[in-house]
Amino acid sequence: MPTPLRAGLVALLLASPAALAQTLTLSFGGSGSTITSRAFSQSDCNNNSGVVVTWTVSNLGTVCNNLQVFITNSSGCPSTPDTSGTDGGTADVIIGTFSATDLLNLTGNTNNFVIRNMPGLAGACPSGVDVTNAICGSVQYRPTGATDCTTLNSSSDLSVRFDSAPPPPPIISSLLPQDSKIIVTLDPNGEADTSFYRVQYAPQLGTSDAGLNFISVPDFSAQNNSVTIGALTNDQLYVVQAFQLDEVGNVSPASTQASGTPLASNGFWAEYKDAGGHEQGGCNVADAAFPSVLGALGVLASLWWRKRR
């Protein structure tokens, strides 16, 4: 093939509709947002919280049908919304429809979609439910030079979750009584989205669990699965229980209680003092001694170096 013809073919291929891939993307909270999943608690639902979806589309040319943004409980995004529920799930809900004129703006937002209206909730905020739906987009357009319309689906699907089901109680996997403290290690008991743990402790003053006055330590991230309960009284039996909170703040039932008694112990320094050691100590290595010795040596070295030069 002569070189000018080959170049022309390449130019034609580059200019073809296949080369100019059209895109439709969805996002939460404006374009550029990287959040692809949002979760709502029962409280959020009762407060009529919702989501606004931003769509962004490349220039489609001839638009055959409106852009529809919809929520579905199908496992993936269908090419078009099924509002009859014949796909086996509940009816998909269209949360925004945008005409060819709207699409000329290349971006836009849906109205606030109240979460209680999503498939599976039927306008209510029931307890003990954990539903995740996908948010999809679909539009039909006619590529340049083509005679038939093509369906364009959103390339970045979003998900929205309503979670009013409390997680299972965590498991106290270990409880280590030490000197004036107890170290509690927790297991999420199979829960995948534990965000925080809450640990409570109470001195057991009598022989019964009745009337235990539990004190909470500050909630801590589930990334750390252990916590130290400090400032406890040695030789006192303490009862410990734990809870876990999922990503929307649902609190689990209390774990099975565990108990332990902090016991006073001697480290090397206490053992040394008990044996009659004369050392007074009191100088913190990290705070003073080590840096001061290094500093003094540094000064000596610099003086010596300057003298040599």
Give least dist CB 186 to other proteins, A. Answer: 17
Give least dist CB 222 to other proteins, A. Answer: 22
Give least dist CB 245 to other proteins, A. Answer: 27
Query: Is 185 a binder of other proteins (CB under 8 A)?
Result: no
Q: How many beta carbons lie within 10 A of that of residue 292, not counting itself?
A: 11
Cα-based angle 262, 242, 164 (whole degrees, multiple of 5) = 175
| Pairwise CA distance, residues 59 & 56, whole Å | 10
Q: Which listed residue (148, 279, 307, 309) binds other proteins by CB under 8 A?
A: 279
Question: Which residue bears the tokens 């001839």?
Answer: 62
Stretch of 63-71, 153-161, 187-195, 270-278 contacting other proteins, by CB under 8 A: 270-278
Stretch of 142-150, 189-197, 250-258, 267-275 contacting other proteins, by CB under 8 A: 267-275
Query: Is 205 a binder of other proteins (CB under 8 A)?
Result: no
Q: Are 263 and 233 in contact (CB under 8 A)?
A: no
List CB contacts of 18: < 8 A, sequence separation 6 or more: none
Stretch of 89-97, 112-120, 150-158, 258-266 contacting other proteins, by CB under 8 A: 258-266
- Contact characters 227-246, other proteins, x per CB under 8 A: --------x-----------
Query: Is 9 a binder of other proteins (CB under 8 A)?
Result: no
List phi, psi (to 5°) of 90: -80, 165
Give least dist CB 228 to other proteins, A. Answer: 9
Query: Is 76 a binder of other proteins (CB under 8 A)?
Result: no
| Pairwise CA distance, residues 248 & 91, whole Å | 26
Q: Radius of gyration over alpha carbons of the chain, in Å?
A: 32
Return the biggest CA–CA distance within the chain: 101
Query: Is 15 a binder of other proteins (CB under 8 A)?
Result: no
Give least dist CB 307 to other proteins, A. Answer: 13
Q: Which listed residue (48, 256, 266, 302) binds other proteins by CB under 8 A?
A: 266
| Tokens encoding 166 | 């409390």
Q: Are 174 and 257 in contact (CB under 8 A)?
A: no
Cα-based angle 174, 250, 165 (whole degrees, multiple of 5) = 105
Query: Is 283 a binder of other proteins (CB under 8 A)?
Result: yes
